[in-house]
Copies of this chain bind each other. A is one copy, B any other.
Amino acid sequence: MESVQGSCLDAIQEMDGLIKELYPICRSITGNGVRQTLQIIQRRIPLSIREVPSGTQVFDWTVPKEWNIRDAFIKNPQGEKVVDFAKSNLHVVSYSTAFRGKLSLQELKQHLFTLPDRPQWIPYRTSYYKETWGFCLSHEQLLRMEDGDYEVVIDASLEDGHLSYGEYYLPGESADEFLLSCHICHPSLCNDNLSGISVMVALATHMSSARPRYSYRFLFVPGTIGSITWLALHESQVSSIKHGIVISGVGDRGAFTYKKSRRGDAEIDRVFSYVLRTAGDNSKIIDFHPYGYDERQFCSPGFNLAVGCVMRTPFGQYPEYHTSADNLEFISLKSLSDSFDKCVSALDILDNNRLYSNQNPKCEPQLGKRGLYQSVGGQTQSRVNEMAALWVLNLSDGMHSLLDIAERSGYSFEAIKSAAGSLVEHQLLKELPVRSE
């Protein structure tokens, strides 16, 4: 892969435009909102859209019925729409069954959800696996509702159909794969799902113009059931996945956070640790824990893939999480751009983290006669390269990758990679096949 320094303006604009285009759509774990989302992504990258029929058995789970909603509202006794799906798709509990009837306020309240602590925000609720219906509204809306009979309409369908997901496979030199996955199942929530989608599309665009060593697979899937479905349908291919990340909420103003894979010391874990350590900002590394996003499935003990998760503020640790306040204002282009940059750095290092064998392992080779050593004194910069070259030669014994050498020597990965490049040109190093972990 060719290196790219920093996120270019193009990537930032691309992310910004995509989020704005996707924001109004009502997504859930199935249905036309997901399809529409995938089609919009498809205009940017050559995505394949897959459809898996309801009822398909995927490990311990079953692909659910497809849910589609056309309209929903609550009319007060005066016939005014006091809650209207057309104004915010958060108003309806996701996967609500169709309903049409008149209820007293008392009866209706069994189906209403608000956030008394945040009276202006609409909560986001789902009920995928229990058939029921409900509305979410701001607490202020609720307080304005007076006694009387309310007309309730949910024009939705929950019937056999398909689960939709998107997949983009970018072949590299090797059949070994790097997996990237994000969830696409949330309605008008920005940090939670749109930030991840936009950064992943930007990464896919970026990698398409590189000539990477690994093959890259980008999955756009509904959370939990989507990754389980993909794993169940591709079980035999899973062994090709050598590294991966799940991209979750990466647009809020919190610090960049990397959650390690279940293995804890996988190459992807070491690469992100290196990137964050050398970034010198307030980025954080956290240990694996078995809840969060789809790393739960990729890191289940039967797969135990080397898949970490990138985020900024962990889910549930910011009040806007799963509310209408996770909107376009909540996320920051600076954060998106920083998240993109850090992922690019990690992908760049991992893709270039090669293993070499010193072809002249007994004593040092004579660098001077190859022009790799200053004959007299010399500038500092050149001297650094000599030292980097000595480190690469000394540690290229088939046991130390370039990242190992960078870490042990204290020289930057870039300096070590560059020294290795010169040594390869002079036939002093030979690349070895990648270690399989």
Contacts and interface: CB of A to CB of B under 8 A. Distances in A.
Interface in A342-367: 358, 360-366
A231 B302 contact: no
A397 B366 CA distance: 47
Given A289-B409, A391-B290, A302 B127 contact: no
Nearest to A370: B60
Interface residues of A, number: 47
A109 to B, nearest CB: 15
A335 interface: no
Contacts of A376: 125, 127, 130
A363 B231 contact: yes
A361 B302 contact: yes
Contacts of A395: 290, 301
A312 interface: no
A348 B363 CA distance: 29
Contact of A363 (B232, B364, B368): B232
B300 A394 contact: yes
Contacts of A213: none
A152 to B, nearest CB: 19
A296 interface: yes
Within the oligomer, what is the number of copies of this chain? Answer: 3
A60 B127 contact: no
A127 B377 CA distance: 10
B299 A366 contact: no
Given A301-B396, A387-B291, A368 B129 contact: yes
B301 A361 contact: yes
A60 B360 contact: yes
B375 A130 contact: yes
Interface string A59-97: 111000000000000000000000000000000000000
Nearest to A361: B302
A393 interface: yes
A394 B302 contact: no
B363 A297 contact: yes
A369 interface: yes
Nearest to A300: B363
A225 to B, nearest CB: 9
A59 B391 CA distance: 19
A303 to B, nearest CB: 6
A390 interface: yes
Given A300-B394, A376-B125, A393-B290, A60 B231 contact: no
B363 A59 contact: yes
A23 to B, nearest CB: 26
A302 B59 contact: no
A358 B394 contact: no
A291 B409 CA distance: 11
A182 interface: no
A358 to B, nearest CB: 6
Contacts of A297: 363-364
A235 interface: yes
Contacts of A393: 290, 300-301
19 contacts: A59-B360, A60-B360, A61-B366, A127-B375, A129-B366, A129-B375, A228-B363, A228-B364, A231-B362, A262-B394, A290-B364, A290-B393, A291-B387, A296-B364, A296-B390, A300-B363, A300-B394, A301-B394, A302-B360
Given A127-B376, A231-B362, A300-B364, 20 more contacts: A59-B360, A60-B365, A61-B366, A125-B376, A127-B375, A129-B375, A130-B368, A262-B394, A289-B409, A290-B364, A290-B390, A290-B391, A290-B393, A290-B394, A299-B394, A301-B393, A301-B395, A302-B358, A302-B361, A303-B363
